[in-house]
Structure 1
Amino acid sequence: MEAGGGGGFCSGELASLGPASDREPSESPGAEEEEEEEEEEAEVRGALAGPQEGGSTHLEGQELSDQASLEKKADKGSKDSGKQGKMPSSGQRGELSVPGSRDEEDVTAEGWRSRRKHVFVLSEAGKPIYSRYGNEEALSATMGVMMALVSFIQSGDNAIRSIYSDDRTLVFLQQGPLVLVAVSRTPQSAAQLRRELLGVHSQIVSVLTRAGVARVFERQRSYDLRRLLAGSERILDSLLDGAEREPGFLLGAVRCLPLPAPFRDSLGALLQRATAPSLAFSILAAGRHLVTAAQERAVLEDCRLDPADLHLLLNLVGASSAFRAGEVWAPVCLPRFNPDGFFYAYVSYLGDSTDYALCLVLLSTDREAFHALAGCKRIVEEGLQALGASRVLAAGGVGLPSYGVSSVGAPDLRHFLYKPFDVPDNYRQLPQFTSPEMEGPYASEEERQRLFDLYYRLHGRLHAPSRPLRLIYHVAEKETLLAWVTPKFELYACFNPLVTKSGAIHAVTKLLRWVKREEDRLFIRYPPKYSTAPGPARYGPTRTDSALENGL
């Protein structure tokens, strides 16, 4: 695949190439700028061009709580086996889960068997918990076979990780008392499927906490966890849908809404003013896109907001219509931050409750902080009105991602994914990426999925555990693709199928220069911080029950 179709090309050693020169381009094209562009293009050519036009070489890379409440619900569920329970209460405003009927397919039908990918979650006792398609009860025998297979391998002091057939890959993942299985006909590698299963497990943990799940099964090994997850199937469905369509899950990064840098800075300053003593994170989002985020300094010293946690949080908010009903107060766990405890999330949409309306998410360590955070929301609303936010967002095109590939000015370029590494304060920075709208030949859902499958293939080869690559040039039937990872960025670019190598080099040069010029609009370069007293930390001096309860 590295050199499919027309062959690949690479150099012997990648040049250390950044997104563009450190010098700022002049306002109008001149001799100095043209000379600079020629030098950069030569540098790209040196990094990409191979010894022969038809060569098929590739470059190898370097080896690269509400715990008591949960227990009470579990006890009640075990006594009342005929009644379905609910997720943990969302507190003072609204409910976290929204009950509703799922699309229950006939698991004996050909349509169910021909699905591209199935995901199953079951307990160690073989109890079904979740199925991406079909009714869990109808699949209880199938899940029992899966658990029998896992147990058989474990009896030999081993663990089953994956099974490969001609057209399917089966991946198994055990996390505490839960077993997750993916059966896939997609191009995803076993490592990519395993990360997706980890995401599903993390979404369950975000609702119940890891300690809560473990304690429930310690009390009753055969407990039906669906009693605590009732209504959350929609959230898991949404997560898996997003994993197939959103590059952020693949890249381990978040996409920012492109905005003028001064306006984004003003929004950050607004979040810095709207604080409360127990506030740890403040997030403004539009759909699955980040507008800006502020973090308490004491929290920042301990760890940063992980993109995986942010994906789970935005998916939880976006998948539940209850969050659009008004002000919602709900416990939520951030597994990468602390899988054993809850934060308390204040969620409110600002303005119209459309898919891309601004959503304010405030995470507190205090379960009694609802009214204090409601006051923070009023400050944010007043500030947005003073800034004329609705006018700026409308002008910026909040329909997302609000720019087309034509903005780059490279005619051969159809689409790209760009993830920078050389960002200020990189260790504490939230990993981000940018990509344009899918246009032209990728307007249909089928073609978008096909392109995304190609990105999955390239990503899997770049990050293969056994033989990672640093550069791939792939000529396919309908497009030509380039995947390139350097110490400064990770890039996936799609060109028209007739592009020449020199044309691809020229387009990549233009793209890197364009990203450099637009980086302040495309990314959050300097995330805002604020201080509260007392400052929260990840863990207190001792891991008490109260510490488990509030997530710290």
Structure 2
Amino acid sequence: MHSSDNRGSWEFHPEDTLTEDTGNFPSTLAQVNFSGQKKAGSAVDVPGLAYRNEDIMSESWRKHRKHVFVLSEAGKPIYSRYGNEEALSSAMGVMMALVSFVQAGGNMIQSIFSDEHTVVFLQKGPLVFVSVSATRQSEQQLRSELLHVYHQIVSMLTQASINRIFERRKNFDLRRLLFGSEKVLDGLLDVMDSDPSFFLSAVQCLPLPSSSRDALSHILQKAITPDLVFSFLISNNRLVSVVQEKTVLEDARLKPSDLHLLFNLIRVSAFQAGEIWTPICLPLFNPDCYFYAYVAYLDPPECTVCLVLLSTDKEAFYAVAECKRKIEEAFASQNALQWVANTQLYYVNDIGVANLKHFLYKPSKVLDHYRQMPQFTCPEMEVGYRSQQERIRLLDLYRNMYNRIHCSSRPLKLIYHSAGKETLLAWVTSKFEMFACFTPLVTKKSAISELTKLLRWLKKEEDRLFICQLPRYSTALHPGRSSTDRPNTSDTGLFSLL
């Protein structure tokens, strides 16, 4: 199957799929060969790829702040964040031996603590995930990151396929299917260190006047085709607009974690202009079925505004591409891309709150049905936090505060913490969560007083900072046209996912 235009092309290669004895299903990145323009210095140059063949005996390898390993129950190496999996096969064998030894006693290993490291284990079906961390993150936070890694693998293969493979061959080498997609896992681990959306379990929206956002959503609502389920507009890893099919059930709604995985796939994929059509599983929506994602940038060569259309029909490329054409025409007639391009990001100096350096704010009831789309907002980093090292240091402080205030054994409502370079305050109520960073000498009373001013500003700007409505559309479903990961299985369009 092949499609092309003057901007790029995509192509499926049957030789990259599995043979019949392991199930014939696509690996998201292994099967898609995209040829188009590549933007120099773009997101495809994922930090960390240089570590793939790092010497595991070197001091630099040992000093990484966090290692992540993935292996099968048979002890087969699947993935390592740093170093080659083959070179680490004996170390992964030891990890599996620990898991098996504890299981033999009727228990399940959870974690190991030392003076300098925390080792956390997560077992999901036939896969074992291990994090070795020198950070101050809690066991729960590290396990949550491992769960994201598992979900990213599921997004490429589906849970049902992984389980079926290892039921047939316990010593199967899963790297055959994940070959070429290591950069997706590398990119995920990189961004989890520097993006608060993961530990907040929320998405960040692009600040935009509500009238402009509504107009963009209206354009997406009008460009539909049968079996189209979600339409997203994304700019610089921030959500601009989302519309969804009306029949999407409440108990099968899209979760922030699924959006994080989708954003990560787009961020590290090797395309900037043209179109891509690829299967992707959204594990928290349904871990056993594929959507088919149409991804295209609307503003080449800048490539900052990305359109993502999710369909349940694997044969719908041309129909979905026609939706994109209609959206482009509507955007051009209204000069809509300029609304996004002219968006004013905000800084703490724009707010007028004394001594404030940064904050994270997650409201509880922006939407009528809040659980559908948890969101957060934060200002751009000030000069002192713009280096990667300082940004990660600040987020580590936020993560520590988040863990303390949400501790299951002793949950808190308010924490005031004075650190060396800053003072932090965490405040959780029934209406919001706030994590704020002030200059180092601010008192608790003064910090709370300043946050009250900040909350008034946030309330005034709510319509600009958040998506307050989720527009919906209706399409005519055609049973039997969509596809799951199982070959030769009859489906029922959208309802096969629900």
Query: TM-score over 0.5 for the alignment?
Result: yes
Structure 2 counterparts to residues 114-129 of structure 1, below 5 A: 114-129=63-78
User: CA offsets, 1:305-345, max 9 Å, x none?
Assistant: 110000000101111113x2411110100000000010111
**CA distance, structure 1, for counterparts of residue 352 and residue 323 of structure 2:** 42
Shift of 1:77: 8.6
Q: Which runs of 5+ in 2 are unaligned?
A: 1-13, 37-43
Instruction: State the secondary structure of the residue aligned to 2:319.
Output: helix
CA distance in 2, matches of 1:475, 1:520: 33
Check the 8 A contact 2:227/2:493 in 1, yes or no.
no
2:276 to 328, 339, 347: 328
Structure 2 residue aligned with 1:378, among 313, 320, 325? 325
1:396 aligns to 2:329 (yes or no): no
Q: State the one-letter code of the partner of 1:89.
A: Q
User: Please, which of 273, 288, 298 is the counterpart of residue 340 of structure 1?
Assistant: 288
How many angstroms does 1:548 deviate by? 9.6
Secondary structure, counterpart of 1:368 in structure 2: coil
- 1:395-446 per-position Cα deviation (integer Å, ceiling 9, x unaligned): 214xxxx111112111211000000002232245311000001113223222
- Does the Cα contact within 8 Å between 1:87 and 1:207 map onto a contact in 2? yes
- What is the SS of the residue equivalent to 1:437? coil
* Letter of the 2:277 counterpart: W
Alignment length (residue pairs)? 466
Whole-Å Cα distance in 1 between the matches of residues 212 and 118 of structure 2? 47
Give the match's secondary structure for 1:149.
Answer: helix
Alpha-carbon distance in 2 for matches of 1:245, 1:483: 19
What's the counterpart of residue 35 of structure 1?
A: none
Alignment correspondent of 1:185: 134
Distance 1:72 1:475, change over 3 A: closer
- The AA in structure 1 aligned to 2:293 is A
Residue identity matched to 1:350: L
Matched, 1:365 2:365: no
Deviations 1:263-285 (A, max 9, x none): 00000101100111110000000
Contact 1:342 1:549 in 2 (8 A): no
Contact persistence 2:205–2:467 (CA under 8 A)? yes
Q: 1:546 aligns with which of 485, 490, 496?
A: 490
Of 434, 449, 462, 1:491 maps to 434
Do the aligned residues in 1 keep the contact of 2:273 with 2:300 (CA within 8 Å)? no
- Contact 1:300 1:428 (8 Å CA) reproduced: no
Within-5 A mapping of 1:413-492: 413-427=356-370, 429-492=372-435
Query: Which amino acid is 2:390 matched to?
Result: E
Q: Which amino acid aligns with 2:112?
A: I
User: Does the Cα contact within 8 Å between 1:298 and 1:536 map onto a contact in 2?
Assistant: no
What are the equivalent positions in structure 2 for 1:44-443 lying under 5 Å apart?
73=18, 87=29, 89-90=31-32, 102-103=50-51, 104-322=53-271, 324-354=272-302, 357-397=304-344, 402-427=345-370, 429-443=372-386
**Equivalent AA in structure 1 for residue 329 of structure 2:** E
Letter paired with 1:396: T
Q: Which has the larger displacement, 135-144 or 460-469? A: 460-469
Q: 1:72 to 1:445 in 2, by over 3 A?
A: closer
Relative to 1, partners in 2 of residues 1:307 and 1:93: Cα closer, same or farther, differing over 3 Å? farther
Output the CA distance in 2 between the equivalents of 1:173 and 1:74: 30
Matched residues in 1 for 2:399 and 2:79: separation?
25
1:535 Cα deviation after fit: 8.5
CA offsets 1:51-94 (integer angstroms, 9 cap, x no match): xxxxxxxxxxxxxxxxxx8996155899xxxxxx9955349999
Q: d(CA) in 2 for partners of 1:443 and 1:536?
A: 51
Equivalent runs, 1:493-508 vs 2, <5 Å: 493-508=436-451
Q: 1:457 aligns to what SS in structure 2?
A: helix
Given that 2:366 and 2:466 are in contact with CA atoms closer than 8 Å, whether structure 1 keeps it comes out as: no
Instruction: Find the residue that maps to 1:298 and give its secondary structure.
Output: coil
Q: Distance in 1 between matches of 2:120 and 2:262?
A: 25
Cα deviation, residue 392, structure 1: 2.2
Maintained 8 Å contact 1:86/1:231:
no
- Distance in 2 separating the partners of 1:492 and 1:536: 47
Letter in 1 for 2:291: F
Please give the alpha-carbon distance, in whole angstroms, between the structure 2 residues aligned to 1:472 and 1:86. Answer: 43
**Does the C-alpha gap of structure 1 residues 548 and 246 become closer, same or farther in structure 2, counting only changes over 3 Å?**
farther
Higher relative contact order (CA 8 A, sep 6+): 1
How far has the Cα of 1:386 moved from its partner?
Answer: 2.0
**Cα distance in 1, alignment partners of residues 19 and 260 from structure 2:** 28
Shift of 1:460: 0.6
Shift in Å at residue 536 of structure 1?
A: 9.1
| Cα deviations by residue, 1:273-302 (Å, 9 ceiling, x for unpaired) | 011111000000013210010010101444
Q: 1:504-533 CA deviation, whole Å, 9 max, x = no partner?
A: 122101110010000000000011111111
CA distance in 2, matches of 1:142, 1:534: 51
User: Partners in 2 of 1:509 and 1:427 — Cα distance?
Assistant: 23
2:367 and 2:373 in contact (8 A); partners too = no
Map Cα deviations across residues 373-412 of structure 1 (whole Å, 9 max, x no partner): 0010011111211222233223214xxxx11111211121
**8 Å CA contact retained: 2:416, 2:444:** no
Tell me how far apart the structure 2 counterparts of residues 516 and 124 of structure 1 sit (CA, whole Å): 50
Give the aligned residue type for 1:331.
Answer: P
Structure 1 or 2, whichever has the larger Rg, is 1
Q: Give 2:381's aligned amino acid.
A: M
How far apart, in 2, do the equivalents of 1:428 and 1:160 lie? 32
Q: Distance in 1 between matches of 2:233 and 2:188?
A: 20
TM-score after normalising by structure 2: 0.88
Query: Is the Cα–Cα contact under 8 Å of residues 205 and 377 in structure 2 kept in the other structure?
Result: yes
Secondary structure in 2 aligned to 1:154? helix
Percent identity of paired positions between Structure 1 and Structure 2: 57
* Structure 1 unmatched runs, 5+: 1-68, 79-84
Counterpart residue identity of residue 431, structure 2: K
Corresponding residue for residue 49 of structure 1: none
Provide the rounded CA distance (Å) in 2 between the counterparts of 1:327 and 1:76.
32
Structure-1 separation of matches of 2:33 and 2:98 = 41
After the TM superposition, which of the residue ranges 165-174 and 100-109 deviates more from structure 2? 100-109
